[in-house]
């Protein structure tokens, strides 16, 4: 039985900014893009959330909800340095660490001797050290698998933790709304509810064949997760699945010619990032992402191991043909070939 801890720093960017400038404490504050250039909120503190401000919200709309909102531009170099210091703390407890972003990570602490082997005590000690040594707070979830640990870390936010013991896992998952299942977005949740599945307990009544019929391969994952089954290991060297660049424009792009000019700039930026990344996995697909002025979004992709400008231009034309709206966001990227485990040659003796 694994012991998994999921650590999630509270309002990470905003907390770091408050650490740097204590006068921000207790005031509604957010880190995000320029409202005059269609910027969005990256994160905000709890004071701002009381006004309805949320991550991924347009900065301009956030300021309408909270006119006194202090909006700061992001400082990613600072956040990366703080994240590095937090990960140094993690390494004092486990070598099995899987970062999900700058502010959250999984730790597998199974069979370790720290804190008498108690994952609950380890999580509390890690959180205490983050607050004492880094100057921000973090929340934690402790469970036998990654799926439940991640949900549990959100249970007692901010600056808290929640434990789901093995004997509690089944009942805990059964009561979860279907929206809590990893991979279930608004569209899938709405479909599940329309079909009568509101909680994981409801979903357990569906046979695997029905789930696969309704949701394809994802149906198999739904069948497992609604039962609290998640065998994914904590993977320190999780391979990159894709790489992309995108831009939200201050003014809508109108016309194919303007979009193609912007596409070429994005392609050049993507190639520079590919050179810096030095990803070992070969490219499998190319894609173009378009968000139109009405916020509808489409992604067009194709199999291409060596995409060139003509490939992305063709994908762009296909995407633009799906709407007569102007374009507010444009992105290009590649998906890498999935690495398959090399089978081990077993000895005869």
Q: What is the pLDDT of residues 27-76, one digit of tens each?
A: 999 999 888 887 889 999 999 999 999 998 999 999 999 999 999 999 99
Q: How confident is residue 272, by pLDDT bands cut at 50, 70 and 90?
A: confident
* pLDDT, position 185: 85
Q: Which residue has the tokens 């998952």?
A: 173
Query: 301 with 333: CB under 8 angstroms?
Result: no
Scored b (16 or more CB within 10 A) or e, 99-113 reads eeebbbbbbbbeebe
Query: 113 with 126: CB under 8 angstroms?
Result: no
How far apart are alpha carbons 309 and 265 in whole angstroms? 11
Geometric angle at alpha carbon 275, from 270 and 276, rounded to 5°: 95
Pairing assessment for the beta strands 283-292 and 327-336 based on DSSP bridges: antiparallel
DSSP-assigned states of every residue in 125-137:
HHHHHIIIIISS-
How far apart are alpha carbons 242 and 279 in whole angstroms? 10
| Number of neighbours of residue 244 by Cβ within 10 angstroms | 15
CATH number of the structural domain 4-12+77-167: 3.30.70.270
Residue 334 CB partners (closer than 8 Å, separation 6+): 242, 243, 244, 270, 274, 283, 284, 285, 286, 287, 307
* pLDDT, position 167: 95
Give the CATH fold of the 18-74 domain. Answer: MutS, DNA mismatch repair protein, domain I (3.40.1170)
Whether the per-residue pLDDT at 267 is higher than 50: the answer is yes
How far apart are alpha carbons 234 and 341 in whole angstroms? 16
* pLDDT, position 279: 59
Q: How confident is residue 280, by pLDDT bands cut at 50, 70 and 90?
A: low
Residue 294 assigned as binding residue: no
Name the catalytic one among 17, 47, 98, 104: 104
Write the burial class of residue 116 (CB in 10 Å: 0-12 exposed, 13-18 middle, 19+ buried): exposed
Query: 305 with 277: CB under 8 angstroms?
Result: no
Q: Strand pairing partners for 285?
A: 303, 335
* pLDDT, position 295: 82
Alpha-carbon separation of residue 142 from 120, 124, 212, 271, 302 (angstroms)? 7, 10, 30, 40, 40
* pLDDT, position 69: 96
* pLDDT, position 348: 41
Whether the per-residue pLDDT at 182 is higher than 90: the answer is no
Whether the per-residue pLDDT at 239 is higher than 80: the answer is no
Query: 146 with 232: CB under 8 angstroms?
Result: yes
Work out the mean pLDDT of the chain and round it to a whole number.
Answer: 91
Q: Which among 50, 45, 64, 40 has a CA at the least distance from the CA of 250?
A: 40
Q: Is 104 among the residues known to form the active site?
A: yes
Tokens of 184: 């279930």
Lowest mean pLDDT among 82-86, 244-248, 280-284: 280-284
Pure H helices in 36-75 = 46-49, 59-65
What's CA 294's distance to the chain center, in Å? 24
**What number is the average pLDDT over the span 213-227?**
92
Domain boundaries, the chain: 4-12+77-167, 18-74, 170-225, 242-336
* pLDDT, position 37: 81
Whether the per-residue pLDDT at 145 is higher than 90: the answer is yes
297-317 pLDDT, tens digit each: 899 999 999 999 999 999 999
**Residues, the chain:** 349
Residue 317 assigned as binding residue: no
Whether the per-residue pLDDT at 340 is higher than 60: the answer is no
* pLDDT, position 339: 63
How far apart are alpha carbons 276 and 272 in whole angstroms? 6
* pLDDT, position 250: 76
Give the CATH fold of the 170-225 domain. Answer: DNA polymerase; domain 1 (1.10.150)
* pLDDT, position 74: 93
* pLDDT, position 281: 77
How far apart are alpha carbons 263 and 327 in whole angstroms? 12
Q: How confident is residue 106, by pLDDT bands cut at 50, 70 and 90?
A: very high
- Domain 242-336 CATH (choose: 3.40.50.620, 3.30.1490.100, 3.40.47.10, 3.40.50.970): 3.30.1490.100
């Amino acid at each position: 039985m694994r012991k998994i801890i999921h650590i999630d720093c509270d309002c990470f960017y905003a907390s770091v900014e408050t650490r740097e400038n204590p006068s921000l404490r207790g005031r509604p504050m957010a880190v995000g893009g320029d409202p005059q250039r269609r910027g969005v909120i990256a994160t905000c503190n709890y004071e701002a959330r009381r006004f309805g401000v949320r991550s991924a919200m347009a900065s301009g709309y956030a300021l309408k909800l909270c006119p006194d909102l202090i909006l700061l531009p992001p400082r990613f170099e600072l956040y990366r340095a703080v994240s590095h210091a937090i990960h140094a703390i993690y390494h004092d407890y486990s070598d099995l660490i899987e970062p999900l972003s700058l502010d959250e990570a999984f730790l597998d602490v199974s069979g370790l001797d720290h804190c008498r082997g108690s994952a609950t005590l380890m999580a509390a000690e890690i959180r205490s050290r983050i607050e004492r040594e880094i100057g921000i707070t973090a929340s934690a979830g402790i469970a036998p698998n990654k799926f439940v640990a991640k949900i549990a870390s959100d249970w007692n936010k901010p600056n808290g933790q929640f434990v789901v013991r093995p004997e509690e896992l089944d009942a805990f998952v059964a009561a979860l709304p279907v929206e809590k299942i990893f991979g279930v977005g608004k569209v899938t949740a709405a479909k599940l509810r329309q079909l009568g599945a509101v909680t994981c307990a409801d979903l357990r009544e569906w046979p695997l064949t029905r789930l696969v019929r309704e949701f394809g391969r994802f149906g198999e994952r739904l069948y497992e997760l609604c039962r609290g089954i998640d065998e994914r290991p904590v993977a320190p060297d999780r391979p990159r699945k894709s790489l992309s660049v995108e831009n939200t424009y201050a003014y809508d792009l109108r016309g194919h010619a303007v979009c193609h000019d912007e596409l070429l700039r994005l392609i050049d930026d993507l190639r520079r990032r590919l050179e810096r990344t030095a990803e070992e996995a070969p490219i499998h697909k190319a894609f173009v992402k378009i968000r139109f002025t009405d916020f509808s979004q489409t992604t067009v992709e194709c199999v291409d191991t060596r995409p060139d400008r003509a490939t992305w231009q063709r994908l762009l034309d296909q995407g633009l043909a799906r709407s007569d709206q102007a374009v507010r966001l444009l992105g290009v990227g590649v998906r890498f070939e999935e690495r398959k485990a090399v089978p081990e040659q077993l000895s005869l003796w």
